[in-house]
Amino acid sequence: MIKIGVVGVGNFGRWHLKNYQSLPNAELVGFYDINPERATYIADEFQAKAYPSLDKLLEDCEAVSIVVPTHAHYEVARVAIARGRHLLCEKPFMSTIAEADEIIQLAKAKNLILQVGHVERFNPALTGLEQYHIDPLFIESHRIAPFRGRGTDVAVVLELMIHDIDLVLALVSAPIVQVEASGAPVLTDNIDIANARLRFGNGCVANVTASRISNKQMRKLRIFQRDAYFSIDMLTGLTEVYSLSRDSGPLPSDTVQITEMPDPNGTPKRILYHTRQTEQGNALLNELDSFIKAIQTGQPPRVSGEDGKRALEVAVQIVNSIQSDLRNIV
């Protein structure tokens, strides 16, 4: 059983705390939060030990979840690594690429597990795609949410879009060769709505949109490839699959034929449709369990520090492109 601590128990950190308490392979030793009033409240709510300092928490645990504001990730991670503690760092991984590089190297030097909290990788709707061969030609994602006033210390690209940047990078096995982006601040001084078009070296294009000023929620990913189209609703867990088949055999019970047409050789081609409904599940619980198992087995985490750095690099490029355009407008 791994002794775990949580650093930062704000809106999302408290969920780390709660989920660790339900993991049989983790022992939650407690947490540290810079706000004494919040620490007292959370300690009472979860019957968890509030530590008076980060150093005291690190004395008693083997690993930590870092769920503090992004600007503090680097300093907390450095201290945790210096004490030889494994770490799961929430996204965005760091404030700068230089910080990300340093933390990755420091963790490697001490042979520590470093996982980045891109929780959508653990969404059951996404993990269900593992049964398919995914080779995208075009990807479209929409991640929009009502304004909540949280996370506005960074652009929506780093708050929300970075989830889909990470997913796209995981799906496309080629480097990005071009980034085009647009966006605007609306309710805050940071970028509140953004769209980016990512072109990859293999010809794939991803069109990624994020907004935190909508009147509704949406988290959808659409993947278009040769002979197949996938529509994944990450909120409801519904996946729709349209595929082209040249097999004339009987169809599975969960599949319907939309139409049939001959190819140039006269062989019939069938357009098939089926849906897959996954349980809502608990992506965060799956993520934390994966982190603990990586520590226990020594296997690389599903979302490594390098993965977090790649997503951050693209997000920073998008933000810089938008800010440059906005300065030119002004």
Per-residue confidence in pLDDT tens, the chain, 330 aa = 999 999 999 989 999 999 999 999 999 999 999 999 999 999 999 999 999 999 999 999 999 999 999 999 999 999 999 999 999 999 999 999 999 999 999 999 999 999 999 999 999 888 778 778 899 999 999 999 998 877 677 899 999 999 999 999 999 999 999 999 999 999 998 999 999 999 999 999 999 999 999 888 999 999 999 999 999 999 998 899 998 877 777 777 778 877 777 777 767 788 889 888 887 779 999 999 999 999 999 999 999 999 999 999 999 999 999 998 777 765
| Residue 132 belongs to a domain | yes
240 falls within a domain: yes
Is 146 found in the same domain as 260? Answer: yes
Residue 262 bridge partners (DSSP): 268
* Cis peptide leading into residue 52 (ω within 30°): no
Overall number of domains in the chain: 2
Residue 309 lies in a domain: no
Using N-to-C axis directions, what is the helix angle for 97-109 and 73-82, rounded to 10°?
10
Whether residue 53 is found in the same domain as residue 22: yes
Residues 11, 103 within the same domain: yes
Do 192 and 247 sit in the same domain of this protein? yes
**Quick one: DSSP state of residue 248?**
-
Q: Which two tokens stand for residue 172?
A: 């496309």
Cα–Cα nearest to 104, from 72, 78, 131? 78
- With beta carbons less than 8 A apart as the criterion, state whether 214 and 227 touch: no
Residue 266 forms part of a structural domain:
yes
Residues 219 and 236 in one domain: yes
Q: Find the domain containing 128 and state its range.
A: 122-281+315-325
Cβ contact 73:81 at 8 Å: no
The pair of structure tokens assigned to 213 is 């000023």
Q: Is the pTM of the predicted complex or chain greater than 0.75?
A: yes
CATH of the domain at 187: 3.30.360.10
135 and 152 part of one domain:
yes
Residue with tokens 């300690």: 43
Residue among 85, 79, 132, 90 at smallest CA distance from 115: 90
